[in-house]
Amino acid sequence: MTILQAGSPTAFSYPIASLKGQIPNATISDNPSMGNTQPITAQIGSDLVYPDFVVQNIIGLYTDLKVGDYEWTIPSGWKTSTGKTGTFVLDATASKNVYITPDNFTSGEIKVRGMNSRGSAGSEYKTFPVDRGLKFINYPASITFGDKTTQSFSVTAFPGVTYEWSAPAGWQVNGQGGASVSITPNFCSSSNATDNKVRVRLKKNNDVSDWLDCPTQIMSPDISIGANVYQYEAVAVTLQNFNLNEMQSVDFSGDGVKNLSNQGDYKIAFLTEGNINLNISILLNGCTAPITFNKQITVNPSRISITGPSAVCPGTTGTFTLNNANTSISWSSSSTLSVTQDGNSTTVTNNATMNVDFGDTRPAISVIPVHFFVA
């Protein structure tokens, strides 16, 4: 322990005089609400002291060496009773109270730390978040893409302020100016509606608050498709985040994309492999034009194969099966073959006349190609 005599000069070394790890005992009187500019009081309680240092006062008693200077930070636009703003240092030996006047709307935080007058590091900050009480108190958790149901929104009500609401383009806001509104979605007007938010801000005199975003999630349209997609194979498509009752039609397109959908049974096939850009066009009830979004699909190379005999001789039959094909297919053949199709299999009869070469009684073997097509 170091004892200092009153009036004796002493130099503090940086490690000894450090305040690192200490936090001021400070309080604030209030979290001022929006539109309220009544002064609040920030106060230092018990003093910070330099560790292991005492001083002898004028009456001969030994006391801890106290920290005299405190650095304060207040939100932008706020000021103290003496006109200080931003970050400033005050001597707590003069007064431990700081009187702060907020503006109408700015939130942020008040911070204070003890400052070492001997030149080493200050203490840790004591921080007071100031949110001013504005929050959403009523709102839908989510809005499904295409849903036209009118929804209710409300935030904390404060006297003497007006409210400005913002919603995605084309949405109707009913009750502009108050703390509560109803909003009717409209997904016809903008394909980017899901990139926006319902927001609110406050106004009083010439002051305007920042926008506050509503937690409501406006669902993005999407599709679900099989994890493994192969060329020439049909895959089922599930529409996600849609209000199906408001959907008039859907169409799938893109390079090499074949739409196999039928009356709500959504299926597509890809005629090319690689990364394919799939376009999905949705026409909603009451809309004059479809809304289009896209999704990139990775299409694996074809795994379709044909099993069957390598040759079908005249007057005989053979069965050919198309493996790994779960889409509509059609078969064709040369004119001397008759084809009977049963799903992914077909029975082929060779109707060609047997050829006999004079001097050789062996029949000629006829190999006739069979082709298939993905419908």
Q: Give the domain ranges of the chain.
A: 2-130, 136-218, 222-300, 305-374
Which sign, positive or negative, has the C-alpha torsion 89, 91, 96, 101?
A: negative
Instruction: Return the structure tokens found at 15.
Output: 């490690």
- Contact call for residues 322 and 344 (beta carbons, < 8 A): yes
- Contact call for residues 32 and 43 (beta carbons, < 8 A): no
Cβ partners under 8 Å of residue 168, min gap 6: 185, 190, 192, 193, 194, 196, 197, 198, 218
Q: Quote the mean pLDDT of the chain.
A: 84
Cβ partners under 8 Å of residue 334, min gap 6: 368, 369
Confidence of residue 49 (pLDDT cuts 50, 70, 90): confident
Please give the radius of gyration of the chain, using alpha carbons only, rounded to the nearest integer.
40
Architecture in CATH for domain 136-218: Sandwich (2.60)
Q: What is the pLDDT of residues 199-249, one digit of tens each?
A: 999 999 989 999 999 999 998 889 999 888 999 888 999 999 888 889 899
**Start-end of H helices in 9-167:** 14-17
- Does domain 2-130 fall under CATH 2.60.40.10? My reply is yes
CA within 13 Å, CB half, 225 = 22
pLDDT for residue 359: 43
Q: Is the pTM of this model over 0.75?
A: no
- Would strands 162-166 and 199-204 be described as parallel, antiparallel, or unpaired? antiparallel
* The CATH fold of domain 222-300: Immunoglobulin-like (2.60.40)
In sequence order, the β-bridge partners of residue 324 are none
Between 121 and 158, residue with greater pLDDT: 158
